[in-house]
Amino acid sequence: MTKKINKECPHCLNEFSPKQKNGAEYQLCEPCSKQLEDEMKIASKESYDEHQREVKKSNKLLKRLKKTLPAKIFKAIEWLQDSFVCYGFQIVERKDTTGVKQKASLFFDQSSAVRYVYDDTSYCSYDDAGGGVVFIRLDKLRFLKVYVSM
């Protein structure tokens, strides 16, 4: 006879046998493990959906900008997309920009039709990886805000 060692589930405080299906040792009792698994599934599905919505929104905006912006300006956006992982494109006003004003030719490392950008990549608001936010001046009133990951 195998001796049953019961463990207290830290979640519901019920005793349970740690050895469960597939011989895997569970840290939580079966109902709690199942509940946690379901919650994680829902959370990752939600963040996936949100990401998909974000991508759709950005693509729509870029499509519109491609049609309406001078090609020279749009080229800078394409260069940025080629050079970095970009996401969360959004049009903002001058007052919503952050970071350091920089000549676009310096930022893009080539001559550019864009006059200047606001570079806020030194600190990162999005995650711990290198990157941050860049604002590309489109015209007098509009800046294209984009999260870049380096």
- Give the footprint of Zn ion on this chain (CB under 5 A): 9, 11-12, 29, 32
**Least distance from C-beta 17 to Zn ion, angstroms?**
12
**Least distance from C-beta 132 to Zn ion, angstroms?**
42
Measured from the CB atom, is 12 or 40 closer to Zn ion? 12
Residue 7, amino acid: K
**Least distance from C-beta 33 to Zn ion, angstroms?**
8
| DSSP string covering 85-148 | EEEEEEEE-GGG--SEEEEHHHHHTS--SS-EEEEE-SS-SS-SSSEEEEEEE-SSS-EEEEEE
Measured from the CB atom, is 12 or 129 closer to Zn ion? 12
**Least distance from C-beta 21 to Zn ion, angstroms?**
16
Measured from the CB atom, is 18 or 99 closer to Zn ion? 18
Measured from the CB atom, is 26 or 87 closer to Zn ion? 26
The two tokens of residue 149 are 């990951």
